[in-house]
Structure formats: C-alpha cells, structure tokens
Structure 1
C-alpha cells in the first residue's frame, strides 16, 4: 500500500504492479455496476495557509483521503483503472493549488473484492492512516458501510449495492441499484428505435425489483413495450447460443434486454443474426469500453448501453480536462476513455467538491451536511443534468445517454433523442416510477 504525496509528477509507485494487478477478464461481474458515475468540476482552491485543524486527516497544510478497491483477487484487473482515475484527480487538484489552502494526501488499501477484505481495508485507512474520508471503488462496500456511518465518515464511490441508498454519509451522483422504483427512460429509448416486444434474458434468476435488468424491464413496460412473460435463461457453461437464438426467434421479440457480459452478448448476437430475426434494440448495462470493441469487434454490433454522464464521443471541454489529467498523472493507463477510470476520477472529484464547500476546517458531520445540501452539482459539464444531492439521494437516476456499437464494431454511436430540449439532443430523461 503506497501513499501518493502532493506534488508528484506522475503516478506513485514506479515499481512493477503487484501480481494482483495483472489483467484478467472479469467484465461479467461489472455489467450492472459500471453505470454509476458522476463527473468533474472545475478547480476551486485558495493559497496555502497555515491554519491548524483538529479534524482527523487534517494538518495545517494538507488533508488525507483514502481509496478502497480490489488490488488483488478476481476483480483486480478490471478495477485497475480506478486507481489511475483517483490519483489523476488528486494530482490535478494539487497542481492547481489544492483545496481551501491544503494539498491532498492519498493512501489506498486493497479489499480483495470480498466483504471481509473491505472491512479490514477500511479499518486500516480510518484507524491507522487516519483519513478524513474515502473513495470506494468496489463492489463490496457492505463490509464497512455501517462502521463508516456510525463514525460519520464521508464516502464517495460506485453505488453497486442498495446500501448506498441507505447511508447519508455515502455519496454518488447516480443510482441504478435501488430498493424500489425505476424510470421510463429505458422504455423511451426502446420505443424511439421502433422496439415493441421485449424478451428478457437472464444469467440466472434475480429479484426483479433490485437488479438493473428488472428496472429496465419495468421502465420499458411503462413506456408501452410489451414484455414477454417468460424470461430466457442463458448460462454459457450449459446453454447454447444457437438454442437461445432459436427461442428468441420463436418468441417474436424485436427487443432483447439483459445484464449479460459483453462476452456472452458477443456469442449470442451473431447466432441471433444468423436466424434472420429482426431485432431493433439490444439493451444491456455496462460495456462502454473501447477495449471491448477491440476484443469482440463486429460480434457486438448493434448492442446498446447507457451511462449517466456525457459520452467521450461528444468531445466536450470537460472531457479534454479529464484526458489531460490522465495523460499527465496516470500515463500507465494506455486508453483512459474507460468508464471505470472516469468513474473513479469523478467520485474523487465529488469528494474534493465536498471539501471545497465544507470550508477550511470542517468536522466530518459538517462535510456531510454541506455536501448533501448541494443542489446543482453539474460536474463541470459531464453530467446530463445538474444533480440535487438531497432530492436525488437513493433514487434511480432519470437521465442517461444511450450508445450503440456501430455496424463496423469499432466505435460507439451516441443516440439522439427526438424529444430532447434544444441544446441537449443526446440527453434522455424520463419519469420516475415508484
């Protein structure tokens, strides 16, 4: 575990990455979690002061924050970009003068991608390293959520579990994993592409009220898409893509919805195409990553996904700011246009924004109250719409951008919304359904 100190010119740790950080393919585990993002705001800083502060993690000239992520275990390769995103945002902030007169110190801990590891990692950062707050880029925040809430410790990160909707000290700008409710945004997109009848494809049986496939299904039905009554089950170890394709053709579906891995879709979609079935929409969470196109190419052609931020393809000034930070401070990441790297950068920015609005020497409780009171966090232009961190807390996000893998399988096309307001042709916003 290494500490990133202020002023370093590049990513800390010039030694080769530990074995746990070698690349392994685990995209199936991420298919319903990489949706959750927020973005980057402009620099807000003041000259360095020498103000004493007794708040944990604060010194006269710095404030220490931590990151929890799986640096080892089966998730390590997939989550490697998150450390790059966190470090790049911190180094960028320090290069711009820090936050409220203090530079940002950084220390990370490995939770191995399991609940016990998460408990141990968080205790190490809070009890031993005395961090002020945390960025959690992990799927197992359950290991520490109640402990952090009891101590009023601020947390930002990826809300991949419903617990993120239950603790006011845990912040994100977008939710898709919620205990109840959905939005009809998904259905609006499907209908705009001409979709009428949807087959739901599941890797296994999951509760339809909490998993993202169920929320897409409910949202589609609300918008008038007919949902076939019987879900189709696909398990690559026992199922045949050819058999599934035949079942899809027989069903009469022209829309496919499912939280399968990109690899599974790469096997299924060519089999469906071979049957001649006219499919208008294939909608799946996750998969917004150029590496997947390099790996699967035309096998993913036609696959649609969605994100709760402005896509890289639009090339905004906010994207250029992010890309400069990654080039300067995280050059080890060959292509930073990945959703997980941006997610981590974004969640770090959210924590830094909280430090900005909380003032030069806040208690943890003051930080939580002041950041929770922010009503117009627009993430420097990377969010589809500004976020009210109180009104949207724990509620599924209403606005997304939808992207479709092009026919050549080498890029994403951003879908224009025919019903969007002037000036936001790529925003898709719908109504919440309780």
Structure 2
C-alpha cells in the first residue's frame, strides 16, 4: 500500500510519491450514478463504463481533512484510522487483486481550502472516490462541486442537515447530524437530570445553527429557554469575555457546540473566574485526547455518543481495539475509530460493487444492507436514502472516563 501526501504531512503515515494514474473524469452522463436519487431501486449498474482512479493493480481514493488548524487533532487521528482500515484490506489482498492508494489533502478546516483540495484530488490526482474526512464547514463547502461532478463520497464526519439527504445523492452519510445529536442528549438530560436554566456556547455557521435547532426542539414545552448564546469562531483564542458573559447569565447549565479545544478552553476560562455550571457537549468530547487534556474540567459533562464504547462486548469492537493496540502500541481514540469505520464502509462497497466504475460503486452503496462494523449501528442505504445509520447514545464524563448512560437511540432522518 502506498499513500500519497502531496500537500499534507502526517507523522504517523509514510509519505511516498507515485505517478498519477490515468483515467477519464466522471461527469453526469459519463459513468455517473444515473439511478442515484431516482427513488426507484436499481437491480444493476453500468459495468462497462470507464472511471478514473482505476488501473490493473490499483484503486486510487482521495480524502480531504484538517491536518493543520483548529481541528488538526481530530483530522489526523481520523486519517490514521482510515489509513489503518485501508492497510488492513491491502494486507488481505486488496480488492480483486488491486491495492488501494490514498491521496490526502490538508483542508485546514476551511471551506475555500477544502474546495481547492477536492478539485486537485478529482482533476489532478484523478481519484476514483472521496472517503473519510473530519469537519462540517469544510465538507459542506465542497457539496456543490461533488454534486456537479458526481463524485462518490463515503462517510464524511460532517454532521450537517445538508449531508445524508437526497439533495446530495453522491454523498453517503453514516453519522447523525447535530440537530439529532443535541435533541437526543438534551432530551435525556431534561428527563433524567433536568435543569431550570441553560446557556449555549455556539460556533458560528451551520454547525452551531443545527445544534441550536436540536436544543430548541428538546427544550420545547419544558419551560426552559436559553439565557444567553455566546458565539465563537473556530479560530477564537481569548475566551475571557465569553466566560464573564456566561457567569453573568448564571445559568445552571452551559451547553457547547464548538471545536473540542475551544470547548475545553471556555470551560477553563469559566472555572478561572469561579463559575462552575453543569456541562453538556457534542460527541467530540468523548475522544481520549480531549479527556487527557480537559477531562478534569469536563467532569460530569453530559455528552452525545456516535461510536460504541471500547468496553463493549461486541466482538467486532474488541477485535478493532485489540488489533489497533497490538499494531500501534497504544489504544485507539474515538477519532481513530471514526476513521476506521469510514474505511470499512468504503472498502465493503468496493468489494461488493459489480464492477469498479463510479456507477457500480454507488450501486453497491445504495444496496448495502445491515453492514456490521460493531463501532456504529448496522449501515443500510437505499435508492432514496443516503443516511446509512442514524443513532445517538448518551454518556457522562466521570473520573476522566466516558460512561455510557443511555444506549444508541434511533432517530428519524430527513
């Protein structure tokens, strides 16, 4: 397996240059997923089409994800998990004798950078499909380009209500959006550990808007309204004014939807001025790197979960944890598991595609049913469904550990 990092560096992954594979760019009408979004179940695909990124011995995939910038840690950790899934598949013989090559771009968690990265991957590197990636605003910024060029994209960790819907039929989603995530977490909190007042630290943009919609849905009819909403940018570094405003509101709970480091630093700023409310945040705070840095400050935080706890008795979860630990010398993180899951779904579709064309690859995804990864609920897509699984659990941070308090709960998709 050779991995190409032409414009990105990941210390844990080898950097190897390779010649660009030849191929034909795909546009709608030329080896496209012609049945995608039709609402009718297909029974076949175009096995005679020609797709870029496929040679006699390789399948070239592309991934754009933040390797620098405010979300670098989730991006690099997710990429390591994705790479591990690909390496494992290649060691097992690859796909019909072909090895999978991964070309990676650093999108810096920036929509404009991500768009240029996607263009290079599709037009210069001529990848077969996009796989993986971490971050919502960066991925959402590429959606029009993906749709225009009919590029299959599998499993981006981009919890947005614009992803996993038929308006973007080439994107196959396996993560719940933030509307559903916060609806489930806040509803659990109000039913089991209710509060009388709450405030919100909200990242600007679709990410924050979706989370707010979920919070308002869960609080509807409870009599609780948000006392204050403090907005942050991913690049915000001074949180003293935000902490003071939250203290002035004096809510019993502060909820968070922002980058993991931002969340941790806001909590630290609140504690420095003596304000220690109860806490609720998104699933990002279940990652071991966040717990290692901010676990003490986050004690008691209620968090949504999207990945099964590593203590699960599911044999697929235990196999992943054991194999990762043996091969890497340390236990996996939540972001490692997210990337690994993205890889598993992509590889399964490559294995089951009737032919290695983009149309047949999307056909394999459309017809995927109850695919088990162990780390997320079984994945099922359909001719009119791009949300492969939609379930959220709830946990609490206790003594630096993630303790599940509610199992995965299925939520309705769009």
Paired residue for 1:308? 306
* Equivalent residue, structure 1, for 2:392: 400
Quote the residue 2:217 is aligned against. 218
Quote the Cα distance in structure 1 between the aligned partners of 2:395 and 2:181.
Answer: 20
Instruction: Quote how far apart the aligned CAs of 1:91 are.
Output: 0.5
Compared CA separation, residues 60 and 207, structure 1 to 2 (3 A)? closer
**Pairing 1:344–2:342 present:** no
- Equivalent residue for 1:427? 408
Distance 1:108 1:229 in 2: 41
Structure 1, residues 151-170: CA drift from partner, whole Å, max 9, x if none? 22211212244442431111
CA distance, structure 2, for counterparts of residue 182 and residue 91 of structure 1: 31
Shift of 1:72: 3.5
SS of the equivalent of 2:168 reads coil
- Report the Cα offset of residue 270 of structure 1: 7.9
Q: CA deviation at 1:282?
A: 3.3
Residue 303 of structure 1: how far off its partner (Å): 0.5
Alignment check: 8 A CA contact 1:173 1:387 kept: no
Asked if structure 2 preserves the Cα contact closer than 8 Å seen for 1:65 and 1:133, the reply is yes
Secondary structure, in 3 states, of the residue corresponding to 2:199? strand
- 2:176 match: 175
Which residue, 382, 386, 404 being the options, matches 2:375?
382
SS at match of 1:258: strand
State the alpha-carbon separation in 2 of the partners of residues 384 and 205 from structure 1. Answer: 30
Give the drift of 1:66: 1.6
Change (3 A) 1:303 1:115: same
Please give the TM-score of this superposition, normalised by the length of structure 2. Answer: 0.74
Shifted more, 154-163 versus 383-392: the winner is 383-392
Distance in 2 separating the partners of 1:345 and 1:126: 23
Aligned twin of 1:231: 228
CA distance in 2, matches of 1:96, 1:232: 51
CA contact (8 A) 1:168 1:368 kept: no
The CA deviation at 1:98 is 1.7
**Greater relative CO, 1 or 2 (CA 8 Å, sep 6+):** 1
Question: What CA deviation, in whole Å up to 9, does each residue of 1:288-342 have, x standing for no partner?
Answer: 122223223432111011122212232532223323453466x3xx755322222
- Once residues 100 and 396 of structure 2 are traced to their aligned partners in structure 1, the CA distance between those partners, rounded to angstroms, is 38
Distance 1:89 1:325, change over 3 A: farther
Aligned length in residues: 364
User: Equivalent residue of 1:226, what SS?
Assistant: coil
**CA, structure 1 residues 207+282, in 2 after alignment: closer, same or farther (shift >3 Å)?**
same
Match of 1:47 in 2: none
User: The residue matched to 2:394 in structure 1 has which SS?
Assistant: strand
The alignment partner of 1:381 has SS state of coil
The CA distance in 2 between the partners of 1:206 and 1:125, in whole Å, is 26
Cα offsets for 1:130-170 (capped at 9, x unmatched): 21111241431245332332222211212244442431111
What residue ranges of structure 2 are gaps of 5+ in the alignment?
Answer: 6-10, 17-46, 233-237
Q: CA RMSD in A?
A: 3.7
Structure 2 residue aligned with 1:185: 184
Do 2:228 and 2:249's aligned partners in 1 also have CA atoms closer than 8 Å? no
* CA distance 1:271–1:317, shift in 2 (3 Å): farther
Residue 399 of structure 1 deviates from its aligned partner by: 2.3
**Could you tell me how far apart the structure 2 residues matched to 1:168 and 1:183 are?**
25
Kindly tell me: are residues 188 and 243 of structure 1, through their superposed partners in 2, closer, same or farther at Cα, counting changes over 3 Å? closer
Contact 1:269 1:300 in 2 (8 A): no
* 1:185–1:431 Cα contact (<8 Å) kept: no
The answer to whether residue 265 in structure 2 is matched with residue 263 in structure 1 is yes
Structure 1: which 5+ runs fail to align?
16-50, 418-425
Alignment of 1:83-232 (within 5 A): 83-139=79-135, 140-156=138-154, 157-164=156-163, 165=165, 166-177=167-178, 184-203=183-202, 210-221=209-220, 225-228=222-225, 230-232=227-229
How far, CA to CA, are the matches of 2:309 and 2:377 in structure 1?
A: 9
Cα deviation 1:351-392 (Å, max 9, x = unaligned): 112212212x23212222331232423x32222455445565
